[in-house]
Amino acid sequence: MKINDVVMFIDQGQYAKWFYGQIGVITRISKSKSGEEHCRVQWVQPVPYFEKFSTISDFPLAYFEIP
């Protein structure tokens, strides 16, 4: 995956309740200190997250796939 790719959140862990199946666009890719790739995603539609709406999120790249 690369910057500007449209991706879908697929991880079924603790954030699935809010983000599973949501579509976004990768705006940045980086590596953590442990070498794991992470990405910043701008959501196509704001995602309800607790009592707010998330428009941008940072997650491991492995949490996404290209739909």
Q: How confident is the model at residue 62 (pLDDT cuts 50, 70, 90)?
A: very high
Q: Pick left, alpha or beta for residue 21 (phi over 0 → left; psi -120 to 50 → alpha; otherwise beta).
A: left
pLDDT for residue 8: 98
pLDDT for 52 equals: 95
pTM: 0.92
pLDDT digits (tens, 9 = 90+) for 7-60: 999 999 999 999 999 999 999 999 988 999 999 999 999 999 999 999 999 999
Q: Which residues pair with 41 in a beta bridge?
A: 26, 57
CB atoms within 10 A of CB 63: 21
- Whether residue 21 contacts residue 9, with contact meaning beta carbons closer than 8 Å, is answered with yes
